[in-house]
Structure 1
Amino acid sequence: MKLAIGSDHVGFELKPLIIDYREELGHEVTDFGPFSTERTDYPIYGKKVAEEVAAGHFDGGVLICGTGVGISISANKVRGIRAVVCSEPYSAKLSKEHNNTNIMAFGSRVVGSELAKMIVKEWLEAIYEGGRHAKRIEMITELETEQKR
Protein backbone atom coordinates (compact mmCIF):
# COMPACT_ATOMS: atom_id res chain seq x y z
CA MET A 1 0.00 0.00 0.00
CA LYS A 2 1.01 3.60 -0.61
CA LEU A 3 0.45 5.53 2.58
CA ALA A 4 0.66 9.20 3.54
CA ILE A 5 1.58 10.40 7.03
CA GLY A 6 1.48 13.76 8.75
CA SER A 7 1.49 15.22 12.23
CA ASP A 8 1.80 18.43 14.12
CA HIS A 9 4.73 19.32 16.38
CA VAL A 10 3.31 17.25 19.24
CA GLY A 11 3.11 14.11 17.09
CA PHE A 12 6.46 14.73 15.43
CA GLU A 13 8.54 12.45 17.66
CA LEU A 14 6.21 9.46 17.27
CA LYS A 15 5.93 9.87 13.49
CA PRO A 16 9.35 8.38 12.51
CA LEU A 17 8.64 5.28 14.61
CA ILE A 18 5.36 4.77 12.77
CA ILE A 19 7.01 5.42 9.39
CA ASP A 20 9.67 2.79 10.12
CA TYR A 21 7.08 0.32 11.37
CA ARG A 22 4.86 0.75 8.32
CA GLU A 23 7.85 0.25 6.06
CA GLU A 24 8.74 -2.93 8.01
CA LEU A 25 5.22 -4.14 7.20
CA GLY A 26 5.97 -3.57 3.51
CA HIS A 27 4.15 -0.29 2.88
CA GLU A 28 5.48 2.67 0.92
CA VAL A 29 5.26 5.78 3.10
CA THR A 30 5.40 9.48 2.19
CA ASP A 31 5.83 12.04 4.97
CA PHE A 32 3.92 15.31 4.49
CA GLY A 33 5.46 17.01 7.49
CA PRO A 34 6.24 18.74 9.62
CA PHE A 35 9.96 18.13 9.56
CA SER A 36 10.90 19.64 12.93
CA THR A 37 9.49 20.09 16.43
CA GLU A 38 8.85 23.79 15.77
CA ARG A 39 5.32 24.71 16.86
CA THR A 40 2.82 24.35 14.02
CA ASP A 41 -0.90 23.90 13.42
CA TYR A 42 -2.45 20.45 12.93
CA PRO A 43 -5.05 21.56 10.32
CA ILE A 44 -2.22 22.17 7.83
CA TYR A 45 -1.09 18.55 7.92
CA GLY A 46 -4.55 17.04 8.31
CA LYS A 47 -5.55 18.82 5.12
CA LYS A 48 -2.37 17.89 3.21
CA VAL A 49 -2.69 14.18 3.92
CA ALA A 50 -6.47 14.17 3.39
CA GLU A 51 -6.25 15.90 0.01
CA GLU A 52 -3.63 13.41 -1.18
CA VAL A 53 -5.72 10.43 -0.04
CA ALA A 54 -8.95 11.88 -1.46
CA ALA A 55 -7.23 12.51 -4.81
CA GLY A 56 -6.31 8.82 -4.97
CA HIS A 57 -2.56 9.39 -4.78
CA PHE A 58 -2.40 7.21 -1.66
CA ASP A 59 -4.32 4.19 -0.40
CA GLY A 60 -4.64 5.66 3.09
CA GLY A 61 -3.13 7.95 5.65
CA VAL A 62 -2.04 8.19 9.26
CA LEU A 63 -2.23 11.43 11.24
CA ILE A 64 -0.78 12.19 14.67
CA CYS A 65 -1.35 15.14 16.98
CA GLY A 66 -1.68 15.38 20.76
CA THR A 67 -5.01 13.53 20.96
CA GLY A 68 -5.71 12.70 17.31
CA VAL A 69 -8.95 14.62 17.52
CA GLY A 70 -8.07 18.01 16.01
CA ILE A 71 -6.08 16.59 13.10
CA SER A 72 -8.85 14.07 12.29
CA ILE A 73 -11.53 16.77 12.37
CA SER A 74 -9.41 18.75 9.90
CA ALA A 75 -8.99 15.72 7.62
CA ASN A 76 -12.73 15.00 7.72
CA LYS A 77 -13.45 18.42 6.21
CA VAL A 78 -11.99 17.13 2.92
CA ARG A 79 -14.61 15.55 0.71
CA GLY A 80 -14.21 11.78 0.46
CA ILE A 81 -12.32 11.36 3.70
CA ARG A 82 -13.44 9.11 6.51
CA ALA A 83 -10.84 9.67 9.23
CA VAL A 84 -11.10 7.91 12.56
CA VAL A 85 -9.40 8.56 15.89
CA CYS A 86 -8.47 5.37 17.71
CA SER A 87 -6.74 4.77 21.00
CA GLU A 88 -6.90 0.96 20.79
CA PRO A 89 -6.65 -1.67 18.03
CA TYR A 90 -10.22 -3.06 18.07
CA SER A 91 -11.84 0.23 17.00
CA ALA A 92 -9.15 0.69 14.35
CA LYS A 93 -9.95 -2.71 12.85
CA LEU A 94 -13.74 -2.20 12.90
CA SER A 95 -13.45 1.33 11.54
CA LYS A 96 -11.95 -0.12 8.35
CA GLU A 97 -14.17 -3.22 8.19
CA HIS A 98 -17.45 -1.37 8.77
CA ASN A 99 -16.81 2.28 7.87
CA ASN A 100 -14.14 1.90 5.19
CA THR A 101 -12.01 4.55 6.89
CA ASN A 102 -9.21 5.87 4.75
CA ILE A 103 -7.29 7.78 7.40
CA MET A 104 -6.28 6.63 10.88
CA ALA A 105 -5.47 9.20 13.58
CA PHE A 106 -4.21 8.89 17.12
CA GLY A 107 -2.70 11.05 19.81
CA SER A 108 0.92 10.91 20.89
CA ARG A 109 -0.19 12.14 24.33
CA VAL A 110 -2.74 9.32 24.52
CA VAL A 111 -0.97 6.22 23.19
CA GLY A 112 2.63 5.09 23.47
CA SER A 113 4.74 3.84 20.60
CA GLU A 114 3.97 0.12 21.00
CA LEU A 115 0.22 0.67 21.27
CA ALA A 116 0.37 3.01 18.27
CA LYS A 117 2.04 0.22 16.26
CA MET A 118 -0.73 -2.22 17.26
CA ILE A 119 -3.40 0.29 16.23
CA VAL A 120 -1.75 0.92 12.86
CA LYS A 121 -1.23 -2.81 12.22
CA GLU A 122 -4.88 -3.69 12.89
CA TRP A 123 -6.07 -0.83 10.69
CA LEU A 124 -3.74 -1.69 7.82
CA GLU A 125 -4.62 -5.39 7.88
CA ALA A 126 -8.38 -4.88 8.09
CA ILE A 127 -10.47 -5.15 4.92
CA TYR A 128 -13.71 -3.29 4.27
CA GLU A 129 -16.57 -5.78 4.40
CA GLY A 130 -19.06 -3.91 2.22
CA GLY A 131 -22.44 -5.64 2.29
CA ARG A 132 -24.74 -4.19 4.94
CA HIS A 133 -22.18 -1.46 5.62
CA ALA A 134 -22.17 -0.13 2.04
CA LYS A 135 -25.58 1.54 2.45
CA ARG A 136 -24.29 3.50 5.43
CA ILE A 137 -21.18 4.64 3.58
CA GLU A 138 -23.44 5.82 0.75
CA MET A 139 -25.53 7.73 3.30
CA ILE A 140 -22.39 9.42 4.67
CA THR A 141 -21.36 10.37 1.14
CA GLU A 142 -24.83 11.85 0.52
CA LEU A 143 -24.53 13.95 3.70
CA GLU A 144 -21.17 15.19 2.50
CA THR A 145 -22.58 16.07 -0.92
CA GLU A 146 -25.51 17.93 0.62
CA GLN A 147 -23.13 20.06 2.70
CA LYS A 148 -21.06 21.03 -0.35
CA ARG A 149 -24.01 22.57 -2.20
Structure 2
Amino acid sequence: MQIALGCDHHAFEMKEEIKAFLHESGHDVIDYGCYSCEAVDYPDVAFQVAKDISNKKIPRGILICGTGIGVTIAAGKVPGIRAALCHDTYSAERAQKSNNAQILTMGAKVIGIEVAKKVVETYINSEFVGGHSSRKVRKIMDGEKQFLKGEQHEETHQ
Protein backbone atom coordinates (compact mmCIF):
# COMPACT_ATOMS: atom_id res chain seq x y z
CA MET A 1 0.00 0.00 0.00
CA GLN A 2 1.16 3.52 -0.71
CA ILE A 3 1.32 5.59 2.49
CA ALA A 4 2.07 9.27 3.00
CA LEU A 5 4.23 9.97 6.04
CA GLY A 6 4.97 13.34 7.60
CA CYS A 7 6.07 14.94 10.84
CA ASP A 8 7.44 18.00 12.55
CA HIS A 9 10.87 18.26 14.17
CA HIS A 10 9.61 16.84 17.48
CA ALA A 11 8.76 13.58 15.72
CA PHE A 12 11.57 13.30 13.16
CA GLU A 13 13.24 10.31 14.82
CA MET A 14 9.94 8.44 15.22
CA LYS A 15 9.02 9.17 11.60
CA GLU A 16 12.29 7.69 10.41
CA GLU A 17 11.72 4.51 12.44
CA ILE A 18 8.11 4.22 11.24
CA LYS A 19 9.29 4.73 7.65
CA ALA A 20 11.79 1.87 7.98
CA PHE A 21 9.13 -0.31 9.63
CA LEU A 22 6.67 0.35 6.80
CA HIS A 23 9.31 -0.35 4.13
CA GLU A 24 10.19 -3.64 5.86
CA SER A 25 6.47 -4.49 5.84
CA GLY A 26 6.38 -4.01 2.05
CA HIS A 27 4.67 -0.62 1.85
CA ASP A 28 5.55 2.22 -0.52
CA VAL A 29 6.20 5.23 1.73
CA ILE A 30 6.05 8.77 0.39
CA ASP A 31 8.02 10.96 2.83
CA TYR A 32 6.59 14.48 3.16
CA GLY A 33 9.18 15.58 5.70
CA CYS A 34 10.44 16.98 7.78
CA TYR A 35 13.90 15.74 6.96
CA SER A 36 15.88 16.70 10.07
CA CYS A 37 15.45 17.86 13.66
CA GLU A 38 15.51 21.48 12.46
CA ALA A 39 12.32 23.30 13.49
CA VAL A 40 9.39 23.24 11.06
CA ASP A 41 5.73 24.18 11.40
CA TYR A 42 3.57 21.04 11.47
CA PRO A 43 0.62 22.62 9.60
CA ASP A 44 2.74 22.88 6.44
CA VAL A 45 3.41 19.13 6.41
CA ALA A 46 -0.08 18.15 7.59
CA PHE A 47 -1.83 20.28 4.96
CA GLN A 48 0.23 18.77 2.11
CA VAL A 49 -0.36 15.18 3.22
CA ALA A 50 -4.07 15.81 3.74
CA LYS A 51 -4.41 17.64 0.42
CA ASP A 52 -2.84 14.79 -1.53
CA ILE A 53 -5.06 12.26 0.22
CA SER A 54 -8.15 14.40 -0.34
CA ASN A 55 -7.21 14.61 -4.04
CA LYS A 56 -6.87 10.79 -4.10
CA LYS A 57 -3.16 10.82 -4.97
CA ILE A 58 -2.44 8.57 -1.98
CA PRO A 59 -4.94 6.37 -0.10
CA ARG A 60 -3.71 6.79 3.49
CA GLY A 61 -1.32 8.79 5.60
CA ILE A 62 0.41 8.96 8.94
CA LEU A 63 1.26 12.25 10.61
CA ILE A 64 3.31 12.66 13.78
CA CYS A 65 4.12 15.68 15.93
CA GLY A 66 4.94 16.07 19.62
CA THR A 67 1.46 15.27 20.92
CA GLY A 68 -0.36 14.38 17.69
CA ILE A 69 -2.95 17.03 18.45
CA GLY A 70 -1.60 19.74 16.14
CA VAL A 71 -1.32 17.54 13.06
CA THR A 72 -4.79 16.12 13.73
CA ILE A 73 -6.35 19.57 13.85
CA ALA A 74 -4.43 20.80 10.80
CA ALA A 75 -5.18 17.74 8.64
CA GLY A 76 -8.85 17.90 9.61
CA LYS A 77 -9.12 21.38 8.13
CA VAL A 78 -8.65 19.97 4.63
CA PRO A 79 -12.08 19.18 3.14
CA GLY A 80 -12.82 15.49 2.89
CA ILE A 81 -10.26 14.41 5.48
CA ARG A 82 -10.87 12.32 8.56
CA ALA A 83 -7.77 12.25 10.75
CA ALA A 84 -7.69 10.13 13.91
CA LEU A 85 -5.35 10.60 16.85
CA CYS A 86 -4.50 7.12 18.16
CA HIS A 87 -2.10 5.98 20.83
CA ASP A 88 -3.42 2.44 21.21
CA THR A 89 -4.27 -0.41 18.86
CA TYR A 90 -7.99 -0.49 19.63
CA SER A 91 -8.42 3.17 18.63
CA ALA A 92 -6.30 2.60 15.51
CA GLU A 93 -8.50 -0.30 14.48
CA ARG A 94 -11.71 1.64 15.13
CA ALA A 95 -10.34 4.69 13.28
CA GLN A 96 -10.37 2.59 10.15
CA LYS A 97 -13.20 0.10 10.74
CA SER A 98 -15.75 2.58 12.12
CA ASN A 99 -14.63 5.98 10.84
CA ASN A 100 -12.78 5.25 7.59
CA ALA A 101 -10.06 7.67 8.69
CA GLN A 102 -7.58 8.28 5.91
CA ILE A 103 -4.93 9.67 8.26
CA LEU A 104 -3.56 8.20 11.46
CA THR A 105 -1.94 10.72 13.79
CA MET A 106 0.29 10.10 16.79
CA GLY A 107 2.37 11.99 19.34
CA ALA A 108 6.07 11.14 19.52
CA LYS A 109 6.26 12.55 23.05
CA VAL A 110 3.22 10.51 24.11
CA ILE A 111 4.07 6.94 23.06
CA GLY A 112 7.22 4.97 22.46
CA ILE A 113 8.34 3.58 19.15
CA GLU A 114 7.33 -0.04 19.78
CA VAL A 115 3.76 0.94 20.67
CA ALA A 116 3.72 3.32 17.69
CA LYS A 117 4.70 0.46 15.37
CA LYS A 118 1.86 -1.70 16.72
CA VAL A 119 -0.60 1.20 16.29
CA VAL A 120 0.59 1.74 12.69
CA GLU A 121 0.41 -1.97 11.91
CA THR A 122 -3.12 -2.22 13.29
CA TYR A 123 -4.28 0.86 11.38
CA ILE A 124 -2.72 -0.29 8.08
CA ASN A 125 -4.19 -3.79 8.41
CA SER A 126 -7.73 -2.58 9.22
CA GLU A 127 -10.39 -1.85 6.64
CA PHE A 128 -13.62 0.14 6.79
CA VAL A 129 -16.51 -2.25 7.46
CA GLY A 130 -19.41 0.02 6.49
CA GLY A 131 -22.75 -1.01 7.95
CA HIS A 132 -24.10 1.40 10.55
CA SER A 133 -20.80 3.25 10.42
CA SER A 134 -21.39 4.24 6.79
CA ARG A 135 -24.37 6.32 7.82
CA LYS A 136 -22.32 8.12 10.48
CA VAL A 137 -19.37 8.80 8.19
CA ARG A 138 -21.80 10.12 5.55
CA LYS A 139 -23.31 12.45 8.16
CA ILE A 140 -19.85 13.76 9.04
CA MET A 141 -19.06 14.44 5.40
CA ASP A 142 -22.49 16.00 4.74
CA GLY A 143 -22.03 18.22 7.79
CA GLU A 144 -18.65 19.31 6.51
CA LYS A 145 -20.19 20.31 3.17
CA GLN A 146 -22.89 22.33 4.93
CA PHE A 147 -20.36 24.16 7.06
CA LEU A 148 -18.17 24.87 4.03
CA LYS A 149 -21.18 26.44 2.28
CA GLY A 150 -21.79 28.60 5.35
CA GLU A 151 -24.94 26.79 6.46
CA GLN A 152 -25.50 26.19 10.17
CA HIS A 153 -22.96 28.92 10.97
CA GLU A 154 -23.74 30.91 14.05
CA GLU A 155 -21.37 33.37 15.56
CA THR A 156 -20.68 33.00 19.23
CA HIS A 157 -19.69 35.88 21.42
CA GLN A 158 -17.84 35.49 24.67
- Aligned counterpart, 2:3: 3
> When the two structures are superposed, what TM-score results if normalisation uses the length of structure 1?
0.98
For residues 143 and 69 of structure 1, the distance between their equivalents in structure 2, rounded to whole angstroms, comes to 22
**SS of 1:63 mapped into structure 2:** strand
- Aligned counterpart, 1:73: 73
Matches within 5 A, 1:34-53: 34-53=34-53
- Aligned counterpart, 2:155: none
For residues 20 and 36 of structure 1, the distance between their equivalents in structure 2, rounded to whole angstroms, comes to 16
**Structure with the greater alpha carbon radius of gyration:** 2
Deviations 1:53-76 (A, max 9, x none): 111111100000001011110000
One-letter amino acid of the counterpart of residue 67, structure 1: T
Instruction: Work out whether 1:100 is the aligned partner of 2:100.
Output: yes
For residues 23 and 35 of structure 1, the distance between their equivalents in structure 2, rounded to whole angstroms, comes to 17
- Aligned counterpart, 2:17: 17
Matches within 5 A, 1:103-122: 103-122=103-122
- Aligned counterpart, 1:56: 56
Instruction: Work out whether 1:82 is the aligned partner of 2:82.
Output: yes
Tell me the CA shift for residue 94 of structure 1: 0.9
Aligned identity (percent) is 38
Structure 1 alignment gaps of length 5 or more: none
Structure 2 alignment gaps of length 5 or more: 150-158
Tell me the CA shift for residue 95 of structure 1: 1.0
One-letter amino acid of the counterpart of residue 90, structure 1: Y
Question: How many residue pairs end up in the alignment?
Answer: 149
**SS of 1:137 mapped into structure 2:** helix
Tell me the CA shift for residue 22 of structure 1: 0.9
For residues 59 and 3 of structure 1, the distance between their equivalents in structure 2, rounded to whole angstroms, comes to 7
For residues 16 and 40 of structure 1, the distance between their equivalents in structure 2, rounded to whole angstroms, comes to 16
> When the two structures are superposed, what TM-score results if normalisation uses the length of structure 2?
0.92
Tell me the CA shift for residue 47 of structure 1: 0.4
One-letter amino acid of the counterpart of residue 49, structure 2: V
For residues 79 and 102 of structure 1, the distance between their equivalents in structure 2, rounded to whole angstroms, comes to 12
